[in-house]
Amino acid sequence: MTTVEDALMRPDPATARRARRVAVHTFRPRRSWPALIVGALVLLVAALAAAEVVSALVGSPMRTAVTTTAEEYAVGAQWGDPAVQAASLLLALIGLALIAIALLPGRGRFAPLRTDDPDLVVGLSRPALRRTLVLAAQSVGGVRAARVTVGRHRIGVRVHTDLIEAPELRGQVAAAVERRLTEIAPLGDFKVITHVRCAKA
């Protein structure tokens, strides 16, 4: 293939960047459990407050144990009280934690793959990614078993060999795993860390 043909087939950088953004957004984990728990707690508090307000407006306050205790404490509480300051600090920390949970991406179940096409989004599940990398490591001669862990930016490969000494095996396994990663083309940049366990003499 000539240089001109190669340049024509290669997508322009703007399209590749857009395709990357679409893939990352599509496979971003949705933090559904924290949102569900917080939403349920807020709904419970709002329902209790609404019931208390409506019952007070009609002339027969509910006077539940929770609202009565809260009312008695609020009447005598001062901003300078250590308990009030501690409660305020606790609520502020909970709010900051919820903001951090909402902003920081979680660990997704799928690894987005590079397609360079914004209209085509492809992902590989992390178990499938581990299996294919295990097969790549086991394809190296001398490897008896392999185990792969996939992190956010690191891939750990642990191999067992029946050889007593295998100084080249670590590099060969790393090269095989990196070659397979190049073929799969995940969007993230992964660093391959390989450990070899040799048989005892």
Can you give the pLDDT at residue 123? 76
Residue 63: how many CB atoms within 10 A of its CB? 11
User: What domains appear along the chain, each with residue ranges and CATH number?
Assistant: 32-103 (no CATH), 110-197 (3.30.300)
Range of lowest pLDDT (66-70, 107-111, 165-169): 66-70
Token code pair at residue 99: 């903001």
**pLDDT class for 19, splitting at 50, 70, 90?**
low
Q: Average pLDDT, whole number, for the chain? A: 77
The pLDDT tens digits for 95-144 are 888 777 777 766 667 777 777 777 777 777 888 888 999 999 999 888 89
DSSP result, 101-114: HHHS----SEEEE-
Can you give the pLDDT at residue 26? 62
Can you give the pLDDT at residue 67? 64
**pLDDT class for 156, splitting at 50, 70, 90?**
very high
67 or 89, which is more confident? 89
How far apart CA 164 and CA 144 sit, in angstroms, is 13
Total-model pTM: 0.57
Amino acid letter, 190: F
Give the mean model confidence (pLDDT) for residues 181-191: 84
Name 24's Cβ contacts closer than 8 Å, sequence gap at least 6: 112, 187
How far apart CA 42 and CA 89 sit, in angstroms, is 19
Q: Compute the residue count for the chain.
A: 201
How far apart CA 58 and CA 66 sit, in angstroms, is 20
